[in-house]
Amino acid sequence: MPITDLLTKNSAFYKDEVCLVEINPKLEENKLMTWREFSLIQATSTEAFRRELTWGEFQKSSNRFANLLLSRGVKKGEKVAILLMNCLEWLPIYFGILKAGAVAVPLNFRYTGEEIAYCLNKADCEHIVFGPEFVGRIEGICYKTKNIKTWLFVGEGCPVFAESYDKLVTYCSSKLPNIKIDDEDDGAIYFSSGTTGFPKAILHSHKSLVHAAIVEQNHHKQTKEDTFLCIPPLYHTGAKMHWFGSLMAGSKAVLLKGTEPKWIIKAVAEEKCSIVWLLVPWAQDILDAIDRGDINVNDYDLSKWRLMHIGAQPVPPSLIKRWLKIFPHHKYDTNYGLSESIGPGCVHLGMENIHKVGAIGKAGYGWKTMIVDENRNAVKQGEVGELAVFGDGVMKCYYKDEEATKEILSNGWLYTGDMAMEDEEGFIYLVDRKKDVIISGGENIYPVQIENFIRKNEAVSDVAVIGIPDKRLGEATLAVVQLKDGVTFTEEELNDYCLELPRYKRPKKVIFATVPRNPTGKIEKPKLRKQYGSEGLVSKQNEL
């Protein structure tokens, strides 16, 4: 069954029920301006603070876009890129591409023009849909993307080199196109987060997409009555595949355009959200805002909120313990996954296993796991090795990269590059990225363990630990520590705090600075290594 069949089913059963809501808090805050200031903004924008879409409208919108693509001669398997901020049009465009038998290629909105051109060429894209935020970047790369036949612009003020999506789809049929799609047909190409260099093109079939939907609903028990608050970018498998649980259940989802703690809490209250997926920094910000008194949770009706779950990165146990003190009635869950395994869910903690906070869980629904040594032989329980996963959500390949595919795929198993260990109860703990392991004086040091320890300190907002060159030890540990606003904390105090760690795990150097994270919440360690490696560290210390 292709993923598009789920949308068709929902449009038949729940035609007039709201499925998607878009909220733009910045537009609501503009109402606090003077009448003249607000009028000027309204005169140049037709955006609304809140927009919504029913399942029937979703189906018709995606059908219209599919028929537009087919009218332009788009063939089955052709690649269509999406470069949009989260908006109400995003998912209908995605499903329109799939209904045409084409392959959707979502792009990271943080990409530079050069990265956009690289991805368009890498994925053999022939068409692109983009929004107003990207006009400058797109205009600058037109000459580098000669394969692009169609430039479609979503919004007002269409640039001269593109065509208006909004105007064109108006005249297209809203009937479902007669395109046969099978499970094994290519469905989407997602790009890796790019924290290890140029992103790789990850090809998934419709079977992978459907598997993600089944896994998500199984894990979080979405029903028709649930409302999912979606904050992360839809271009990433994480947000999309969590929303697939709503697609399975035929339930409502809210796209919140912003991450301010007050906006999140307000959206949960006003839209009666029951499931919220957060990244670690956002959860931390909410707790800090409550501690400062910026948010009084008693001012909001949060009674429908039943589940807070976090993914995309290791979750500090101290954060969850702190969260549950404020929201003791919440269920908590965490998912582990990669874009290569169609996003979250190949390893899953489970809402019933909150006593195992710190673990990423066990094999998810429909998945198998294995922890292996450097020869890909299973290690003994309790030993550290590389995590491998097996299931219908494993990618088909890295598109046009046979060598890289062979490095990560073997006999259906996906070798994740993440170091992990399994305890006596079968719960898996993520130790670190294989490439992030620090070898200091012959000892393997796993930065995540040190980061989790340092984050327990009340003065610390975020932390990243990397290896830096050391003549004697080979590598030494450097902790980049981000303090909470207004907090004073010295290197000496941090060193004293770390005395509880084994000597070889204690940071040898400390830098107080902002910890950079990509849009999915992952620490950008290559950026830190470049900044604070041998030359970068010397430069930084000279500045201090």
pLDDT of 28 > 80? The answer is no
pLDDT tens, position by position, 176-197:
999 999 999 999 999 986 444 5
pLDDT at 380: 94
pLDDT tens, position by position, 460-500:
999 999 988 876 677 889 999 999 988 989 999 999 999 98
pLDDT tens, position by position, 106-142:
998 888 888 899 999 999 999 999 999 999 999 988 8
For residues 414 and 476, the model is more confident at: 414
pLDDT at 74: 96
Q: Longest C-alpha distance within the chain, in Å?
A: 70
538 — pLDDT class (breaks 50, 70, 90) = very low
**Neighbouring-strand partners of residue 511:** 480
* Segment among 244-258, 267-281, 433-447 with least mean pLDDT: 433-447
* Segment among 95-109, 264-278, 450-464, 516-530 with least mean pLDDT: 516-530
pLDDT of 38 > 60? The answer is no
Could you tell me the two tokens for 539? 């430069």
Average pLDDT over residues 435-444: 72
pLDDT at 444: 72
pLDDT of 33 > 50? The answer is no
Residue boundaries of the structural domains of the chain: 4-254, 306-433, 437-543
CATH number at 4-254: 3.40.50.12780
CATH number at 306-433: 2.30.38.10
Could you tell me the two tokens for 372? 């292996």
Please give the CATH superfamily to which domain 437-543 belongs: ANL, C-terminal domain (3.30.300.30)
CB of 422 within 8 A of CB of 368?
Answer: no
pLDDT of 360 > 50? The answer is yes
517 — pLDDT class (breaks 50, 70, 90) = confident
pLDDT of 149 > 80? The answer is yes
pLDDT tens, position by position, 75-114:
999 999 999 999 999 999 999 999 999 999 999 888 888 8
pLDDT at 544: 34
316 — pLDDT class (breaks 50, 70, 90) = confident
pLDDT at 441: 64
- Strand, coil or helix: what is 84? coil
pLDDT at 447: 85
Q: Which residues 6+ apart lie within 8 Å of 103 measured at CB? A: 77, 78, 79, 80, 97, 186, 187, 188, 189, 203
pTM for this model (two decimals): 0.81
pLDDT at 29: 61
Nearest to 66 by CA among 189, 183, 175, 204: 175
pLDDT at 540: 43
pLDDT at 44: 38
Q: Which residues 6+ apart lie within 8 Å of 61 measured at CB? A: 53, 89, 92, 96, 169
Work out the percent of the chain whose per-residue pLDDT is above 70: 90
pLDDT at 543: 38
